[in-house]
Amino acid sequence: MSLYYVQKFLFELNRDEGLQERYRTDRRGVLTSYALTDEEVEALVAPDIGLLFHLGVNGQILMHFAAFHQIEWQDYLQLMRDGISAHGPVREGVYAVTGYEGVPETGGRC
């Protein structure tokens, strides 16, 4: 998993109008320059807010991505909840759940 690169892409997308335009016209193509897993690419192309949250994307970065896709605040929060219901606890990053049955002890490290 490459949480760093997912968040790097989202950080850059939030700030770069050129990248935003390229993403709008070719979501999959723009992601080829980032070291991402197939699961991460699919979540970014969809966009699948719940899966991205489950993967460990920081909520501060993720909320801008949701807004970019015109996802309303309450819907954004629900999509994160749905992601946990569908995929399980957050796997990595600052929101990681450790010591929970089926979740490896990572100490919340990325």
For the chain, what are the domain ranges?
Answer: 3-87
Question: What is the C-alpha separation between 110 and 106, in angstroms, rounded?
Answer: 8
Contact 14, 31 (CB under 8 A): no
pLDDT digits (tens, 9 = 90+) for 27-77: 999 999 999 999 999 999 999 999 999 999 999 999 999 999 999 999 999
| pTM for the structure as a whole | 0.84
At the second CATH level, the architecture of 3-87 is Orthogonal Bundle (1.10)
**10: its two tokens:** 């989202």
Residue 28: name the closest of 11, 7, 43 by CA. 43
pLDDT score at 79:
97
pLDDT score at 93:
79
**28: its two tokens:** 């999959």
pLDDT score at 15:
96
Q: Is the pLDDT of residue 101 over 90?
A: no
Separate counts of helices (H) and strands (E) for the chain: 7, 0
**87: its two tokens:** 């995929």
Q: Is the pLDDT of residue 13 over 70?
A: yes
